[in-house]
Structure 1
Amino acid sequence: MNAPHPQAETIFPFDHSYAALPERFYARLSPTAVTEPRLIRLNDSLARDLGLDSRALKTPAGVEMLAGNRIAEGSTPIAMAYAGHQFGTFVPQLGDGRAILLGEIVAPDGTRYDIQLKGSGRTPFSRGGDGRAWIGPVLREYIVSEAMHALGLPTTRALSAVKTGDQIMREAPLPGAILTRVAKSHIRVGTFEYFAARRDEEALKALTDYAIARHYPQAEDTANPYRAFLDAVVEAQARLVARWMHVGFIHGVMNTDNTSISGETIDYGPCAFMDTYHPGKVFSSIDHMGRYAYANQPRIAYWNLSRLAQAMLPLLGEVEEKAVAAAQGAIDAFPDLYETAWLEGMRAKLGLATSREEDRKLAYDLFAAIAAAETDFTLTFRTLSSLGRKQGDGDDALRGLLGEKNALDEWLSRWRTRLGHESASEDERKSLMRSVNPAFIPRNHRVEEAIAAAMSDDYTPFERLLQVLSDPYSDQPENGEYASPPKPEEVVERTFCGT
């Protein structure tokens, strides 16, 4: 096995703003070479958006770069340092234990993105792990992150998946793989906690100045840029988590080291989309107490942001009382920001373009009704999108979905009364609802089906699932089975990190 070595081709036009920060922010190292890299999939559309040459990335030299066997010209690989609260317990040093940031590129639209290999070998932050990933978590992140993008939610994305030719030891030998992840940055709440725990105010200031310049430059022109930055992160997280709730997404591990300050969804481990709706739904095999259950996600986001505010206290004011007041003021805005974003999205899901006082109760009562009916989250909203304003107009489709546990009759009457206050035409309202209530989500059993086939080098289910999920708001009658909930024997109750 050859060690990674520089090579001359300029496939990635790398820049390195984060690596220009002080060296205590990261460790410099190269990925660990793999035995026989083979491209599973390259995301051609994302490559085009980034201004990259897909043909060059698919060449043997390009695949070697995506596997970490060759270092692209201009790359300065680093593993980033950070800390984090994991299930509420603070760990002062985590960092990229199986990921290496190759560098940054500036896309044609001017946006700066990180290019990171995930599963690329040991780093100083591996804590005894092998730094590798097997094919299951790699394909899961590829599928779910690209589905999130198609749904219109802020997310990291997958540029490629490469099979390594190596066996990874977990509960059994498993085929190894590497994901190339693209993000607006990999700065986390835990990155701030890392320097705060060390009382390294110089590094904390440098990090925050960098994050402001990269993500929230509008904060620079305010009276207190650090408070303005914290306000912006709080708002971004409020809107992000509200949008998770709108599509029934459960992150699974909302630790502070998995909370991006850019407002993107990051670190798809034991994540899942709900089939049958239940507010306490948990999929993660390690979340034994339901800390990160569906309905808890807003509360946990608030808790995580409180940790960010606490870490930033030295920057928020020279007098402790004023710094604490500034921090508290920023995080106390979260509940209202979240509720506003959640209700705004729920109005759209219910076909409401205007605002009325009863809308919040109407939305909450719908969730209570579908919980009582034990019905499918996604199909309920998609079916509701086709109902007319008159009683009985399309109701049979909804009743067929709910079966005998129909708890929606009274609610439907109230909803139709509320629609009477809207000026939009029936077609306009249905179009609005269909644009925010997807027909297709990455259902857990379909993801597992794709992974199981890939274990035998059959990527047909993986490719077909990606194709269906790329257009989630269209009916796609030829792919109707992908909209269906799992059969009882197909239900996935637990998902895994894969570390």
Structure 2
Amino acid sequence: MTTPAFDNSYAALPDTFYTRLDPTPVKAPRLLAFNDDMSYLTGLDRVPPEDRAAVFGGNRVPDGAAPLAQLYAGHQFGTYNPQLGDGRAILLGEVLGPDGIRRDIQLKGSGPTPYSRMGDGRAWLGPVLREYVVSEAMHALGIPTTRALAAVATGEDIWREQGALPGAVLTRVARSHLRVGTFQVFAHRGDTEALKTLTDYAIRRHYPDASGPMDLLRGVCAAQADLVAHWMSVGFIHGVMNTDNAAISGETIDYGPCAFMDAFHAGRVFSSIDQQGRYAYGNQPNIAVWNMAQLATALLQQMSDKDAAVDEATEVIHAMPGQIEEAWRGRFAAKIGISAPDPSDMPLIEDLLALMQKDGADFTNTFRALGDGTARDQFLDRDAFDAWAERWRARIAAEPEPQAVMNAANPAVIPRNHRIEQMIEAAVAGDMAPFERLMTALATPYKLTDPDLAHPPTEDEIVPATFCGT
């Protein structure tokens, strides 16, 4: 079997960072989806089609791979858990793509590990296909994200609260799987040597211009600030912004009970496990800052001059809300046709969002309709919208190409919750056509190729809650 040339830098780190083990084979692997573009970028297009189900189902380890489960800790809903780790994932290894980018290849749902915490280490088909669709949609929207390479049905049932469900394995590709929690576990243990090793590794891999731990912090904060602003500009709610789900690379990672809003509300929560709204749509900037404060606390443990380092870290963290606001303003200004915003544009943007929230206007369709002159139809209080629109038209009158700016910032189609659920229901019944339909439309989200997929849910199609797959 021809396989890509693996170059496994993480596996070369001390064995305190991971546990080496192979994925657990499955009964009858069957390839459901394969990402040709991603396979080229990883060299995994070299895996023959007849071998792909076995390789991406975990039954055959490719030559050169170094399978392992990574160790990390994390704050889960604000409470620290000193040891988490890959409880249902195996990092096969790393490859260098033809674009020169190093990428992790990970199997998710690949069986139990020492970090499974009494779980079965498996995933069922629904969350696997949800992550496949949503992560690829995020990529098409231009948002940094892990990618989906393959989805494999296992031929085995797994048990969840709903009963027996069809099992599946997702092959996920990432710049790395380093998390805030990866730093936290060694800081909490007081293992400064491991922390220094990890910091140096993260700098080499992701921020080669950083001069040390505080410079690394500065880079990660900047990446996270832009990421959360980008999420919000498309109405995305991550749902579980725990520190073990915050990637050092600045990619969106771990699509559990995530969702895209239909009707706009800043307090919107979909995650069934977020009972207090900690990770609500409008609270995501605050949580991003909080998570980076935890990274700062971990990085400080290795510093010799802690007083000076604390001062520097404090400055970096205190600057982050302003970074997020600036990135948010730029993205939302573009959504209403402003190419070069300044702080005086904030009331115009915020007033539109307030009108949308009051009337329950659809987030995606309202912004898209601004470009074609039909946004008024999204509102109940049309007089209020007309008053806002008068101010808006006056503001964009001097813009050279407001229409083009809006079209580039406002997707026509997103992976709406009800369509995701319909797709999963069909896939469980053996019909992958809705999956293929979504993948085709979402590959070009700024072009409306399938108008039916742009419709918000009817009352009986609304999905009030999304669920984690564990």
Instruction: Indicate the residue corresponding to 2:215 in structure 1.
Output: 228
Q: Distance in 2 between matches of 1:58 and 1:452?
A: 27
Instruction: Indicate the residue corresponding to 1:416 in structure 2.
Output: 393
Instruction: Indicate the residue corresponding to 2:195 in structure 1.
Output: 204
Aligned residues: 469
Instruction: Indicate the residue corresponding to 1:300 in structure 2.
Output: 287
Counterpart secondary structure, 2:301: helix
Equivalent of 1:277 in 264, 271, 281: 264
Q: Distance in 2 between matches of 1:130 and 1:475?
A: 41
Q: Distance in 2 between matches of 1:295 and 1:78?
A: 37
State whether structure 2 residue 430 is matched by structure 1 residue 457: yes
Q: Distance in 2 between matches of 1:78 and 1:357?
A: 48
Instruction: Indicate the residue corresponding to 1:332 in structure 2.
Output: 318
Instruction: Indicate the residue corresponding to 1:3 in structure 2.
Output: none
Q: Distance in 2 between matches of 1:398 and 1:109?
A: 41
CA-to-partner distance for each residue in 1:5-50, whole Å, 9 max, x for gaps? xxxx232321110000000000000110100000001001111233
Instruction: Indicate the residue corresponding to 2:448 in structure 1.
Output: 475
Instruction: Indicate the residue corresponding to 2:29 in structure 1.
Output: 37
CA-to-partner distance for each residue in 1:186-210, whole Å, 9 max, x for gaps? 0000000000010000000000000
Assess, with a 3 A threshold, how the Cα gap between structure 1 residues 406 and 255 changes in structure 2: closer, same or farther.
Answer: farther
State whether structure 2 residue 14 is matched by structure 1 residue 22: yes
Q: For 1:98-177, list aligned pairs within 5 A.
A: 98-171=88-161, 172-177=163-168
Alpha-carbon shift at residue 372 of structure 1 (Å): 1.1
Q: For 1:28-427, list aligned pairs within 5 A.
A: 28-53=20-45, 56-59=47-50, 61-171=51-161, 172-219=163-210, 222=211, 225-315=212-302, 317-386=303-372, 394=373, 397-404=374-381, 407-422=384-399, 424=400
CA-to-partner distance for each residue in 1:246-300, whole Å, 9 max, x for gaps? 0000000000000001000000000000000000000000000000000000000
Counterpart secondary structure, 1:40: strand
Q: Distance in 2 between matches of 1:76 and 1:195?
A: 23
CA-to-partner distance for each residue in 1:122-155, whole Å, 9 max, x for gaps? 0000000000000000000000000000000000
Report the AA paired with residue 377 of structure 2.
G
Alpha-carbon shift at residue 406 of structure 1 (Å): 5.7
CA-to-partner distance for each residue in 1:351-370, whole Å, 9 max, x for gaps? 11223442111111111111
Report the AA paired with residue 36 of structure 2.
D
CA-to-partner distance for each residue in 1:298-333, whole Å, 9 max, x for gaps? 000000000000001123x42332121121112111
Contact 2:73 2:181 in 1 (8 A): yes
Counterpart secondary structure, 1:53: helix
TM-score, normalised via structure 1 length: 0.92
Q: Distance in 2 between matches of 1:96 and 1:354?
A: 43
Alpha-carbon shift at residue 57 of structure 1 (Å): 4.5
Counterpart secondary structure, 1:408: helix
Assess, with a 3 A threshold, how the Cα gap between structure 1 residues 242 and 66 changes in structure 2: closer, same or farther.
Answer: same
Counterpart secondary structure, 1:407: helix
State whether structure 2 residue 466 is matched by structure 1 residue 495: yes
Alpha-carbon shift at residue 421 of structure 1 (Å): 2.9
Report the AA paired with residue 213 of structure 1.
R
Alpha-carbon shift at residue 87 of structure 1 (Å): 0.3
Contact 2:413 2:441 in 1 (8 A): yes
Assess, with a 3 A threshold, how the Cα gap between structure 1 residues 57 and 469 changes in structure 2: closer, same or farther.
Answer: farther
Contact 1:39 1:58 in 2 (8 A): no
Instruction: Indicate the residue corresponding to 1:4 in structure 2.
Output: none
Contact 1:399 1:406 in 2 (8 A): no
Counterpart secondary structure, 2:156: strand
CA-to-partner distance for each residue in 1:170-219, whole Å, 9 max, x for gaps? 12000000000000000000000000010000000000000000000011
Alpha-carbon shift at residue 498 of structure 1 (Å): 1.2
Contact 2:157 2:165 in 1 (8 A): yes
Alpha-carbon shift at residue 407 of structure 1 (Å): 3.4
Report the AA paired with residue 439 of structure 2.
L
Assess, with a 3 A threshold, how the Cα gap between structure 1 residues 404 and 333 changes in structure 2: closer, same or farther.
Answer: closer
Contact 2:330 2:340 in 1 (8 A): no
Contact 2:4 2:43 in 1 (8 A): no
Alpha-carbon shift at residue 350 of structure 1 (Å): 1.2
TM-score, normalised via structure 2 length: 0.98
Assess, with a 3 A threshold, how the Cα gap between structure 1 residues 417 and 475 changes in structure 2: closer, same or farther.
Answer: same
Contact 2:414 2:442 in 1 (8 A): yes
CA RMSD, Structure 1 to Structure 2 (Å):
1.1
Q: Distance in 1 between matches of 2:148 and 2:4?
A: 16
Q: Distance in 1 between matches of 2:32 and 2:91?
A: 21
Report the AA paired with residue 369 of structure 2.
T
Alpha-carbon shift at residue 399 of structure 1 (Å): 2.7
Report the AA paired with residue 350 of structure 2.
Y
Q: Distance in 2 between matches of 1:50 and 1:22?
A: 25
Q: Distance in 1 between matches of 2:43 and 2:62?
A: 16
Report the AA paired with residue 349 of structure 2.
A
Report the AA paired with residue 48 of structure 1.
Y
Assess, with a 3 A threshold, how the Cα gap between structure 1 residues 26 and 288 changes in structure 2: closer, same or farther.
Answer: same
CA-to-partner distance for each residue in 1:23-82, whole Å, 9 max, x for gaps? 00000001101000000010011112333326x3421x2221101101100111000000
Q: Distance in 1 between matches of 2:341 and 2:34?
A: 44
Contact 1:42 1:159 in 2 (8 A): yes
